[in-house]
């Protein structure tokens, strides 16, 4: 008897909060599945407990336990899918390559600022399964990952030192910037964007004023020409 094949949609194993494949899947009373961390963060930030997908409210916050069966199904599907990756999974021009693939490189799905390295789906799994790696900072694939590391300590640049006007890592904070004025890099970036927005608005306002003055000057010149021509004709 031929072995039956089960065809499932990838959407069935996608978390509707992060829109990625379920990690540590949990099933809530309404029947919908989410990543344990996604749902926990969602409920921690809200005054009520409701399903992010169907919006059903729960008077008592349900206890969240990993759905081991669903977790195993997702693991097996990932292994089966990635054991013979289709051509579109291989890194092409403009893609970020997995740093750990031997031979033909697969396309990276995440870059880790803590490691630092880029990973395909297969080599990324230890970051989701091992306690030692679960707290690493994962970002979208970044080909310029090395440029975002401290040259001295090879750690991710997370702090902006206002005193030295430079981006530094946490190790730099401890070893060489004692007493300096510092903020998180993201905070400084947002502040710079605001300043840039104000500057661009000022430039735009200045250009509009110049355009207005130029139009007024042209209008006056036209009136003078008309007036001069009228006197000459008279």
Mean pLDDT for 120-140 is 84
Domain carrying residue 193: 184-233
Residue 157 falls inside a structural domain: no
Alpha helices, H only, 137-233: 170-176, 185-233
Peptide bond into 155 cis (omega under 30): no
Query: For residue 85, what pLDDT band results from cuts at 50, 70 and 90?
Result: low
What pLDDT, on the 0 to 100 scale, is given for residue 227? 73
What pLDDT, on the 0 to 100 scale, is given for residue 4? 38
* Residue 148, both tokens: 């975002």
Query: For residue 82, what pLDDT band results from cuts at 50, 70 and 90?
Result: low
- pLDDT surpasses 50 at 125: yes
Tell me which of 62, 81, 100 is where a domain ends: 81
Whether 101 and 127 map to the same domain: the answer is: yes
* DSSP secondary structure code for residue 133 in this structure: T
Residue 53 falls inside a structural domain: yes
Query: For residue 7, what pLDDT band results from cuts at 50, 70 and 90?
Result: very low
Tell me which of 81, 99, 118 is where a domain ends: 81
What pLDDT, on the 0 to 100 scale, is given for residue 81? 59
What pLDDT, on the 0 to 100 scale, is given for residue 28? 92
Backbone φ and ψ for 185, nearest 5 degrees, come out as -60, -40
Whether 202 and 224 map to the same domain: the answer is: yes
What pLDDT, on the 0 to 100 scale, is given for residue 34? 92
Tens digits of per-residue pLDDT, 173-231?
Answer: 888 888 899 888 888 888 888 888 888 888 998 899 999 999 989 888 888 877 765 45
How many folded domains does the chain comprise? Answer: 3
What pLDDT, on the 0 to 100 scale, is given for residue 232? 52
Q: Report, in angstroms and rounded to the nearest whole number, the Rg of the chain calculated over CA atoms.
A: 29
Q: Which helix or strand (DSSP H or E) is residue 50 part of?
A: strand 49-50
What is the spatial distance between Cα 179 and Cα 101, in angstroms, rounded to a whole number?
Answer: 44
Q: How many CB atoms lie within 10 A of CB 170?
A: 14
Q: What is the overall mean pLDDT for the chain? A: 82
Residue 156 falls inside a structural domain: no
| Residue where the block lists tokens 């403009």 | 94
Q: How many CB atoms lie within 10 A of CB 22?
A: 22
C-alpha of 86 from chain center = 26
Residue 178 falls inside a structural domain: no
Whether 71 and 106 map to the same domain: the answer is: no
Query: For residue 5, what pLDDT band results from cuts at 50, 70 and 90?
Result: very low
C-alpha distances (whole Å) from 127 to each of 76, 116, 117, 130, 170 are 17, 12, 12, 6, 22
High-pLDDT (> 90) share of the chain, %: 9
Whether 207 and 143 map to the same domain: the answer is: no
Are residues 62 and 36 in contact, defined by beta-carbon separation less than 8 angstroms? no
Mean pLDDT for 134-152 is 82
């Amino acid at each position: 008897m031929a072995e039956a094949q089960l065809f499932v949609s990838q959407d069935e194993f996608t978390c509707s909060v992060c829109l990625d494949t379920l990690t540590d899947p949990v099933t809530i009373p309404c029947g919908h599945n989410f990543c344990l961390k996604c749902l926990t963060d969602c409920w921690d930030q809200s005054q009520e407990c409701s399903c992010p997908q169907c919006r059903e409210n729960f008077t008592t916050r349900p206890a969240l336990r990993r759905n081991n069966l669903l977790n195993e199904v997702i693991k097996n599907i990932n292994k089966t899918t990635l054991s013979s990756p289709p051509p579109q999974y291989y890194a092409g021009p403009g893609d970020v390559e997995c740093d750990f693939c031997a031979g033909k490189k697969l396309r990276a799905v995440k870059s880790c600022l803590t490691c630092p390295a880029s990973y395909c789906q297969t080599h990324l799994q230890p970051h989701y399964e091992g306690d030692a790696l679960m707290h690493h900072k994962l970002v979208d694939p970044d080909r310029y990952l090395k440029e975002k590391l401290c040259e001295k300590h090879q750690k991710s640049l997370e702090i902006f030192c206002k005193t030295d006007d430079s981006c530094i890592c946490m190790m730099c904070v401890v070893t060489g910037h004692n007493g300096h004025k510092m903020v998180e890099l993201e905070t400084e970036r947002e502040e710079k964007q605001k300043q840039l927005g104000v500057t661009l608005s000022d430039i735009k306002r200045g250009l509009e004023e110049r355009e207005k003055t130029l139009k007024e000057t042209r209008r006056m010149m036209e009136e003078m020409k008309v007036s001069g021509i009228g006197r000459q004709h008279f």
